[in-house]
Structure 1
Amino acid sequence: MSRILIAEDDRRISEFIEKGFRAANYTCTAVEDGASALLLARSGEFGMIILDIGLPTLSGFEVLERLRSEGCKTPVIVLTASDSVADTVYGLESGANDYMTKPFQFAELLARVRLRLHDDAGPAPVATISHGELSLDLRSRRVHVGADTADLTAREFSLLEVFLRHPGQILSREQLISHAWDMDFDPASNVVDVYVRALRTKIGARRLETVRGAGYRLT
C-alpha cells in the first residue's frame, strides 16, 4: 500500500483523516505545518499528499508550488475551508491533482485517493490515452500531436483527458466542468471556452469542434 502524507494543522481533522486511512490499510504520517510537509514530501517516500491550504510557516499553496517547481510529481489533493472559484483555479493551476472543500465526507476523500493512486489491488494504470494522432502522457502531463510535443497546465490536462476518454461524443460545458474539475456549473462562466481555446493552440483547432448550442466534441 502507498504511504500517505497528511499536512493539516487542525488536529481533530488530521486525526479523523488518519484514522480513516489506517482503517483502509494505508500507512500515514501527519504534520501540522508547511515547512515539515515540504521536507517530508521532498523525501520521495510518499505516494499521496493530503494538503491543507491554511498551514503555518508555509501555506499549502507555497508547499505545492515549491514541490512542482522542483519536479515532484507526487499526487496532491488540496483540502481547504475556502470554496472560492479563485482559490480552486489557483490550486489546480499550481499543480494540485484534486481539490476538496471542508467539511467533507471521508468516503469521498478515500475514493479520490484510490483513483489517483490506482490502488495496488487493481489493474496497472494506463500510462497514455490516445486518439488518432493525439497521445496524452498521464505521468508527464504532456500531449503528443504526431511528432510534436506540448506541455499542459493542470487544467488543460484535465480537460483534454476528459475529451480523450469520450472521443466523438458531444460534451456540454456543464459536463466538462463537472468531469474535468469537479466544480459546480456556472452558466455565466466562460472558463471552459477559455481553456478549449488554449488547448486548440496546442493540439490544433480542427480537433476540438464547437457544436452550437450543445458543447464541444473531440473529432
Structure 2
Amino acid sequence: MSDSRGLVVVVEDEPAIGDIERIYLIDAGFTVHVSSDGESGLDAIRRLRPVAAVIDIGLPVMDGIELCRALRDADDWTPIVFVTARDSEIDRILGLELGADDYVTKPFSARELASRVKGLVRRSALGGRSTMLELGQLRLDQRERRVTVGGAPVELTATEFDLVAYLMASPGQVFARSQLLSAVWGLADYRGSRTVDVHVAQLRSKLGEAFGLRTIRGVGYALDSPSAGR
C-alpha cells in the first residue's frame, strides 16, 4: 500500500502474540510479515529489507540473540525491538556489542510496542539524511553507530546514542522532555520525564564539555556548540 510507513518483520513463535503484534502494527500504518522461527525470520529480514524488526528472544531453530548477531555481523543495521520474557536478559540484550535498539518485556502492551517501532523508524529516517554528524569535538557516525570526542571513541548504550543523534541533528533547537521521550523512546509518557534527565546526566559524564547541552528550566534541553556555554 502506497501510504504505508514501511514493512515490519515480526519474528514470533507464539501465533496468538504474533497476531496481536501484526494487528497493532498494521493499525499504526505498517505492513507486516510474520515469521515463526529465527532462521526464517533472518531470511525474511535479509530478503525483504524491512524498516524495522520485532524479534522474540525465545525462538526455535535460532534464538533472537543469534538472529540479531547474524544481522549485525553482516553489517545489517535494521532497527530491532526485542521481546523478552525475563528482565535479567535486558543488560545483555542492550549491550553495544549486540546492537539491539529497544526491548519490551512480556507481558507488554501491543500499542506501546507499535509506538516503539514508530519511534525507531523515525530515527532511522532521520539518520538516513546524514551519515556523519559533527559538533565541535563531538563526532557521531550513524552508520557504524560510533561516537568520538576529539578522535577518542566513547562507548554509549543504544538509547544514549539515539538521544545524542537526535539532538545533534537539530543543534540549538529547544526540545521539551516529552518531545525527546516521543522521539527516542517511542512513547511520550513512557517511564516519565525523569528518564530523560537520567540519560542526560550519564551523557554529560561520558562526553564532558564536548556535550554542550543547555538545560532550559521548566522546558527541556538544547544542544549548542561548546563555545556557546550552558
Structure 1 residue 125, shift from structure 2 partner: 6.7
- 1:3 aligns to 2:41 (yes or no): no
Q: Percent identity of the aligned residues? A: 27
Distance in 2, matches of 1:134 and 1:104, equals: 36
Of 75, 90, 93, 1:91 maps to 93
Q: Give TM-score, length-normalised by structure 1.
A: 0.68
Tell me the equivalent position of 1:52: 56
User: Do the aligned residues in 2 keep the contact of 1:141 with 1:152 (CA within 8 Å)?
Assistant: no
User: Do the aligned residues in 2 keep the contact of 1:136 with 1:161 (CA within 8 Å)?
Assistant: no
RMSD of aligned C-alpha atoms?
4.1
Tell me the equivalent position of 2:104: 100
* Cα pair distance change 1:61/1:145, threshold 3 Å: same
Structure 1 residue 3, shift from structure 2 partner: 0.4
Distance in 2, matches of 1:119 and 1:97, equals: 11
- 1:12 aligns to 2:13 (yes or no): no
Structure 1 residue 105, shift from structure 2 partner: 1.1
Segments of structure 1 that go 5 or more residues without pairing to the other structure are: 168-178, 185-191, 210-217
Distance in 1, matches of 2:121 and 2:114, equals: 10
- 1:77 aligns to 2:81 (yes or no): yes
Q: Secondary structure at the match of 1:116?
A: helix
Q: Give TM-score, length-normalised by structure 2.
A: 0.65
Q: Secondary structure at the match of 1:118?
A: helix
Give the counterpart letter for 2:93 in structure 1.
G
* Cα pair distance change 1:114/1:61, threshold 3 Å: same
Structure 1 residue 118, shift from structure 2 partner: 1.4
Distance in 2, matches of 1:119 and 1:162, equals: 10
Paired residue total = 191
User: Do the aligned residues in 1 keep the contact of 2:148 with 2:154 (CA within 8 Å)?
Assistant: no
Tell me the equivalent position of 1:175: none
Distance in 2, matches of 1:4 and 1:161, equals: 20
Tell me the equivalent position of 1:159: 160
